[in-house]
Structure 1
Amino acid sequence: MSNPLGRRALLGGAAAGAGALATLPLTAGTAAATGRGGGRPGRVRPGADVAQADRWRVLAGQRVGVITNPTGVVQDTLGSVVDAMVGSGRVEVGAVFGPEHGFRGTAQAGESEGTSVDERTGVTVHDAYGADAERFAALYAESGVETVVFDIQDVGARFYTYIWTMYQAMVAAARTGLRFVVLDRPNPVGGRARGPVLRPGFTSGVGLDAIAQAHGMTAGEVARFFDGEFLPRVAGRRIADLEVVRLQGWRADMLYPDTGLPWILPSPNMPSPTTALLYPGTCLFEATNLSEGRGTTLPFELIGAPYVDHRWAEALTRRRLPGVRFREAWFTPTFSKNANQVCGGVQVHVTDADAVDPVALVTHMLVTLRDLYDGFDWRLVGGSSDGGRWMDLLTGSDRFRTQLEAGASADAITAGWRDELRAFDRTRSAYLLYPRSR
């Protein structure tokens, strides 16, 4: 059955649920490296461990403020980089700035931990989630820091908020003349950029400036890109002293399982490298009335809604999309969208991680939904459709949404960002730090 968006009342609300259908057990999530040929993982050393091995000389004589979360660890103990700095007696930590989910990681999506004194170290932890440059500048002055350190595991997607916390912190550092140090970590989905580039008029907390949907850079490379491309315009100057403590042993064509590093959840709904691999695409389901798997054990891998049935998995299988297989799945989210409702849908199984283009993959998934189900809608806000506004913010313009609504094919939609992605690739090349084969 085909029901292009332009010929039906897409935005009229969700269809009736399928509550009479039984919930089937789910199989365990696949590992992102399973399709990589079984080679021995590399041994990669993050920037924090490089700095620790050098007895923290990069921070010597400075009062530092650290932006970090539970992923900011040192490998010898898997303990917090802040604990390691303080315990070394060689680093004066004047403050910690906690991003979304908080310094110790106790808060859910869109939440933070508040400001408090950390029991273990005695350091004041400031709530910096949503902080703009002015707020960061005030926090720097209040805590008397001279150097700002960023150490967070990013996942490589424009709408993952940690890089925008770094962006605001960098703007404040540039304006106040503070030094900025990034303790670098791998991009878990590698160094290839994918998807549309954000356009003017579509900035938000999930995208403050013009980068690709999957930017293909480490946090250190992103910082260099921000400093060279955006700070002269936004802050009026570049950072006087920007330093990246580079990864050792990492190549940009590696995925996270190749690193040999343990996976530490960057946020509560990012439980595995497979989740991170799919997230630059499957996060777009946040903008729809489908569950993106929050409230299940497989967020961003398990997608569905009460109105979806077996036809979606069958239609996706016929498309023979590279690197994945689709399993018909039934599940009941315990919170977030469609909570406590039986949802039909799919589990996305990764069979060849190197072949997966998550943005193109989800474009096909959305086109197929559009053509199969009258109940397919944008997300509800206050009981009514947001008209696709969240999709516009996630994709960086209204082009993706309007093409989808007009009945465009997946190939036509993905072709729309090809030229801007090439231009982004050319621009970012000056800021890249690690060898890459593509």
Structure 2
Amino acid sequence: MKKAFCLFFFFSLTILAFTKEKTDKPDFKLGIERVDDFSILFKGKRIGLITNQTGIDSLGRSSIEILYEKTNLKALFSPEHGIRGNAREGAGISNTVDKRTELTVYSLYGKTKRPTKEMLQQVDVLCFDIQDVGARFYTYIYTMAYAMEACARDRKTFVVFDRPNPINGINVEGNILEEEYRSFTGYFPIVQRHGMTCGELALMFNEEFKIGCNLKVIPMQDWKREDYFEDLNLMWIPPSPNIPTPDTALVYSGFCIFEGVNISVGRGTTMPFKYIGAPYIEAEALAEKLNALNLAGVFFKPAYFTPSLSVYKDELCEGIQIIVKDKNKFLPVKTGIAVMYKIKEMYPDKFKINNYPVKHCGLNLLTGTDKLSTMSLSLDEYLKFIEKDEQRFLKKRKRYLMY
């Protein structure tokens, strides 16, 4: 009898735990799932949509299909990596035709990155629905910004279907981009890990940076700023080929800066951005030195890998695997900077900044400053410099937060 009671108690707890997991966020909705609540925006209007494979609802139904059914959808627009996400970083995209709807898909990552007057002639409302990753240098938010500027020029309404910041909406890290390093990987002066949703960024871009388009944001329902993507009952669709998981996005926000130096970030491996290495690095020595720094929430394991593409293709690299032990304590931006300083210290004759000392070299564009490429500051001084910028940005972004 006692044994039966224990079994019953165990299964009861299991059922309760399962039920809690499934019902913790019963009222959460993505922006695209609230089309009917905002139908007045689309009534009698010709609609265009900027999207890709990440534009889906919580059941996996595409935003293209939803708007094709519920509105007068007339044209599609694709960002970097294409509307299906199958193109490599930096690869030009051509105009195509969507097989299912037979609508034209205009490329915003080919001959132009901005919607032209001709592209917008057949739409009254241009919508945006793409999953961002929370880092300043991820280009989708600038496809959004360029489209907003085009809508201001042509007096079109711009609608953002909001989505969660997958690496939470609280933590902010990094320096504010300096205007002289403005590019498509950093168009407005925001920090490296901005802690904002696309809808919130659109509000900031529109007012703070004077775009002035007719902007409407369809907010999520019941999103909490402390949520990581894994906390939500949503499907992760890789927004680009080398962000296969939401926890990769967290590491990416700090370690993408290594694309500006002669170090592989693990493109062409099973661990993009979680592997950092080069043929000249000694894995055991680097891991030991980095773990001695006692950086919060992270462990560095010696790693050996051979990228199948990009930097050091088909060459054996030694380096580290970045293992996040506590995502709530892990500071990816500050960790990435500390790792770069340590590699430069250990391998001063072999560590190189790509295209340096060209002012607009990749590292300067990614960091939005030349202070990391020159390493004119000590690590502690650099961290104090970005902490001041973080406080400035936190004050500025307050008025644009929706959740």
> Do these two structures clear the TM 0.5 threshold for a shared fold by scoring above it?
yes
Task: Decide whether the 8 Å contact of 1:132 with 1:168 is kept in 2.
Answer: no
Aligned-pair Cα RMSD in Å: 2.0
Query: Separation in 1 of the partners of 2:188 and 2:119?
Result: 23
Which structure ranks higher in relative contact order (CA pairs < 8 Å, sequence separation ≥ 6)?
1
Residue aligning to 1:187: 165
Could you tell me which of 254, 270, 275 is aligned with 2:227?
254
Deviation at 1:93, TM superposition (A): 1.0
Query: Separation in 1 of the partners of 2:329 and 2:176?
Result: 21
Amino acid at match of 2:346: L
Residue aligning to 1:102: 82
* TM-score (ref. length: structure 2): 0.89
Could you tell me which of 210, 216, 232 is aligned with 2:189?
210
Residue aligning to 2:379: 410
How high is the sequence identity, in percent, across the aligned residues?
38
Deviation at 1:275, TM superposition (A): 0.7
Task: Please show how residues 12-161 of structure 1 align to structure 2 within 5 Å.
Answer: 40=21, 42-43=24-25, 44-51=28-35, 54=37, 56-76=39-59, 78-86=60-68, 88=69, 90-129=70-109, 135-141=115-121, 144-161=122-139
Residue aligning to 1:12: none
Measured at CA, do residues 133 and 329 of structure 1 come closer, stay the same or move farther in structure 2, by a change above 3 Å? closer
Task: Decide whether the 8 Å contact of 1:133 with 1:172 is kept in 2.
Answer: no
Query: Separation in 2 of the partners of 1:128 and 1:227?
Result: 20
Q: Deviations over 1:408-428 (max 9, x none)?
A: 432221111222221221111
Measured at CA, do residues 112 and 132 of structure 1 come closer, stay the same or move farther in structure 2, by a change above 3 Å? closer
Residue aligning to 1:429: 398
Give the secondary structure class of the aligned counterpart of 1:422.
helix
Query: Separation in 2 of the partners of 1:130 and 1:161?
Result: 13
Residue aligning to 2:259: 286
Residue aligning to 2:6: none
Amino acid at match of 2:329: A
Task: Decide whether the 8 Å contact of 2:353 with 2:373 is kept in 1.
Answer: no
Task: Decide whether the 8 Å contact of 2:107 with 2:113 is kept in 1.
Answer: no
Task: Decide whether the 8 Å contact of 2:181 with 2:360 is kept in 1.
Answer: no
Measured at CA, do residues 190 and 376 of structure 1 come closer, stay the same or move farther in structure 2, by a change above 3 Å? farther
Unpaired runs of 5+ residues, structure 2, are 1-19
Unpaired runs of 5+ residues, structure 1, are 1-38
Measured at CA, do residues 64 and 400 of structure 1 come closer, stay the same or move farther in structure 2, by a change above 3 Å? same
Task: Decide whether the 8 Å contact of 1:293 with 1:303 is kept in 2.
Answer: yes
Task: Decide whether the 8 Å contact of 2:76 with 2:103 is kept in 1.
Answer: yes
Task: Please show how residues 345-364 of structure 1 align to structure 2 within 5 Å.
Answer: 345-364=319-338
Query: Separation in 1 of the partners of 2:347 and 2:229?
Result: 36
Residue aligning to 1:398: 370
Query: Separation in 1 of the partners of 2:358 and 2:279?
Result: 19
Residue aligning to 1:11: none
Give the secondary structure class of the aligned counterpart of 1:303.
strand
Deviates more, 1:319-328 or 1:107-116: 107-116
Residue aligning to 2:154: 176
Query: Separation in 2 of the partners of 1:338 and 1:200?
Result: 32
Deviation at 1:388, TM superposition (A): 7.9
Measured at CA, do residues 294 and 387 of structure 1 come closer, stay the same or move farther in structure 2, by a change above 3 Å? farther
The answer to whether the aligner puts 1:271 opposite 2:244 as a matched pair is yes
Task: Decide whether the 8 Å contact of 2:113 with 2:143 is kept in 1.
Answer: no
Amino acid at match of 1:96: L
Deviation at 1:134, TM superposition (A): 5.9
Q: Deviations over 1:137-173 (max 9, x none)?
A: 33212xx100010000001111000000000000111
Task: Decide whether the 8 Å contact of 1:296 with 1:334 is kept in 2.
Answer: yes
Q: Deviations over 1:373-409 (max 9, x none)?
A: 135433546xx9868821111111112222x2x4x43
Give the secondary structure class of the aligned counterpart of 1:285.
helix
Query: Separation in 2 of the partners of 1:293 and 1:182?
Result: 33
Q: Deviations over 1:183-229 (max 9, x none)?
A: 00000111222101011211111011111111110000000000111
Give the secondary structure class of the aligned counterpart of 1:355.
coil
Measured at CA, do residues 184 and 243 of structure 1 come closer, stay the same or move farther in structure 2, by a change above 3 Å? same
* TM-score (ref. length: structure 1): 0.82
Give the secondary structure class of the aligned counterpart of 1:266.
coil
Measured at CA, do residues 312 and 385 of structure 1 come closer, stay the same or move farther in structure 2, by a change above 3 Å? farther
Task: Decide whether the 8 Å contact of 1:307 with 1:375 is kept in 2.
Answer: no
Deviates more, 1:320-329 or 1:111-120: 111-120
Q: Deviations over 1:19-78 (max 9, x none)?
A: xxxxxxxxxxxxxxxxxxxx9485332111122x548554222111100010001223x1
Give the secondary structure class of the aligned counterpart of 2:143.
helix
Measured at CA, do residues 103 and 93 of structure 1 come closer, stay the same or move farther in structure 2, by a change above 3 Å? same
Task: Please show how residues 373-392 of structure 1 align to structure 2 within 5 Å.
Answer: 373-380=347-354, 389-392=361-364
